[in-house]
Amino acid sequence: MTQSTAFSIAPGGWLGLLGGGQLGRMFCHAAQSLGYKVAVLDPAEECPAGMVADLHIRAAYDDEAGLARLAQQCRAVTTEFENVPADSLRALAARCRVSPAADAVAVVQDRIAEKTFIAAQGIPVAPHAAIRGEADLRAAPANLFPGILKVARMGYDGKGQARIATREEALAAYAEFGGVPCVLEALMPLDYEISVVLARGFDGASVVFPVARNVHRDGILAVSTASAAGQDAAHAERQARATAAAQSIAQGLGYHGVLCVEFFVLKDGSLIVNEIAPRPHNSGHYTMDACLTSQFEQQARAMAGLPLGGVDLLAPAVMLNILGDIWYESADTDAQREPDWAGALSTPTAKLHLYGKREARRGRKMGHVTIVALTLAQAQADAARVAAALGMQAPE
């Protein structure tokens, strides 16, 4: 028997997941289609992954009995979000295989530790300062203004962030955040944003998905595009550098599972890392419809100790996030209606994914739609039609 066979969990076995959001839901679907059963631990009575899991353990992420139940049921456990207490992952690791490991998650769930780690790998990050008190803000170098103050822990989708023009504004934002540890980083002149999703197995072998190009609106991902077409040499070279950087980050973290690295491409062509997500990522949702193996299937394969799947892009793809905003009749009313799904799906290249969330709220991620076509131009034209049918801003 080879080592990888000895280490693997056969389909039919149980895989465990901390967190019950949409990423967990899509993980459940992928793992189940490989034949696994999935147990989800999430405190919510009802949640996107809990609805489709084979077992939903309703418990807090630090609940000893809940964690013990999960470890008893499952031989391998992963997480769908970075804010799970690292100590819970440590406790689970005493009883079952955990990926990613607590130590890797501990680094990326704290922006101060994360930036320090990335810079120590020799990979550039935005100029920044750790803010642990008002005195740090008063002493922060002038090149960090204008900047963005970000809470060190628990931020997502642009929450816990404030754009500040001056030191005074930074002090006010810091007080508003309750004086919790923060990172102040300089506002960078972005040309565009890209991300790299990779999967790394327990044997150290890794596969890297094609680079996605991302557009954010109001701090939330809006559009991801993956295509081999229309790339000049400079862009291709940047993609190669981003891919290499993501691989060295995964290696440096001793990482197992799926990881995403978000990058900024600056106006001068240089590349810096924004942040790391220790899990499948919104910018990798296009892989579900446009790649041979989705990022969620890779997560299941990695934790089960199976070989990773092919990551080839089968066709150009444009992913549009569906936020709760499109349920509202207009920007200045609370009245809601059902979006025109039939209108969106009258474009045959559109693949719709909804997360089963009962309540639509502005800024809440409700689903996404991926348009996969033979050419990038066709995918973009079709994406514009789908966006119009759903009352969404045209994709840039």
Decide: is 193 part of the binding site for ligand ATP (CB under 6 A): yes
**The token pair that represents 267 in the structure block:** 């106006």
Contact 200, 256 (CB under 8 A): yes
Q: For residues 158 and 252, which CB has a smaller minimum distance to ligand ATP in the complex?
A: 158
End-to-end C-alpha distance for the chain, whole angstroms: 52
Decide: is 148 part of the binding site for ligand ATP (CB under 6 A): yes
The least CB distance from residue 221 to ligand ATP, in Å, is 5
Q: For residues 69 and 217, which CB has a smaller minimum distance to ligand ATP in the complex?
A: 217
Residue of 275, 289, 297, 382 interacting with ligand ATP (CB under 6 A):
275
* Among 18-26, 44-52, 215-223, 287-295, the segment contacting ligand ATP (CB under 6 A): 215-223
Angle between helices 86-93 and 64-73 (to 10 degrees): 50
**The token pair that represents 375 in the structure block:** 């050419």
Q: For residues 11 and 363, which CB has a smaller minimum distance to ligand ATP in the complex?
A: 363
Residue of 219, 252, 309, 363 interacting with ligand ATP (CB under 6 A):
219
Please tell me the distance from the alpha carbon of residue 57 to that of residue 88, in angstroms, as a whole number.
15
* Among 19-27, 151-159, 202-210, 320-328, the segment contacting ligand ATP (CB under 6 A): 151-159
Among residues 145, 99, 136, the alpha carbon closest in space to that of 299 is found at 99
Contact 31, 15 (CB under 8 A): yes
Decide: is 187 part of the binding site for ligand ATP (CB under 6 A): yes
* Among 152-160, 293-301, 347-355, 365-373, the segment contacting ligand ATP (CB under 6 A): 152-160
Please tell me the distance from the alpha carbon of residue 240 to that of residue 247, in angstroms, as a whole number.
11
* Among 3-11, 129-137, 185-193, 382-390, the segment contacting ligand ATP (CB under 6 A): 185-193
Q: For residues 73 and 161, which CB has a smaller minimum distance to ligand ATP in the complex?
A: 161
Phi, psi dihedral angles at 278 (to 5 degrees): -85, 55
The least CB distance from residue 105 to ligand ATP, in Å, is 15
Under DSSP, the state recorded for 116 is: H
The least CB distance from residue 283 to ligand ATP, in Å, is 9
Please tell me the distance from the alpha carbon of residue 51 to that of residue 150, in angstroms, as a whole number.
33
Phi, psi dihedral angles at 136 (to 5 degrees): -65, -35
**The token pair that represents 129 in the structure block:** 């300062």
272 DSSP β-pair partners: 264
The least CB distance from residue 220 to ligand ATP, in Å, is 6
Decide: is 107 part of the binding site for ligand ATP (CB under 6 A): no
Q: For residues 74 and 194, which CB has a smaller minimum distance to ligand ATP in the complex?
A: 194
Residue of 21, 155, 278, 280 interacting with ligand ATP (CB under 6 A):
155
Q: For residues 222 and 288, which CB has a smaller minimum distance to ligand ATP in the complex?
A: 222
Side by side, the strands of the sheet bearing 76-79 are 55-57, 37-41, 14-18, 76-79, 97-98
Phi-psi region of 215 (alpha: psi -120 to 50; beta: other; left: phi over 0): beta
The least CB distance from residue 271 to ligand ATP, in Å, is 14
Decide: is 192 part of the binding site for ligand ATP (CB under 6 A): no
Please tell me the distance from the alpha carbon of residue 281 to that of residue 261, in angstroms, as a whole number.
9
Decide: is 190 part of the binding site for ligand ATP (CB under 6 A): yes
Positions 29 through 88 that interact with ligand ATP (CB under 6 A): none
Q: Residues binding ligand ATP: what is the number (CB under 6 A)?
A: 20
State the CB neighbour count (10 A cutoff) for residue 366: 22
Residue of 274, 287, 349, 380 interacting with ligand ATP (CB under 6 A):
274
The least CB distance from residue 223 to ligand ATP, in Å, is 12
Decide: is 216 part of the binding site for ligand ATP (CB under 6 A): yes
Decide: is 156 part of the binding site for ligand ATP (CB under 6 A): yes
Phi, psi dihedral angles at 58 (to 5 degrees): -85, 100
State the CB neighbour count (10 A cutoff) for residue 209: 29
Q: Is the dihedral of CA 30, 31, 35, 39 positive or negative?
A: negative
User: Which residues contact ligand ATP (rule: CB under 6 A)?
Assistant: 126, 148, 150, 155-159, 161, 185, 187-188, 190, 193, 216, 219, 221, 262, 274-275
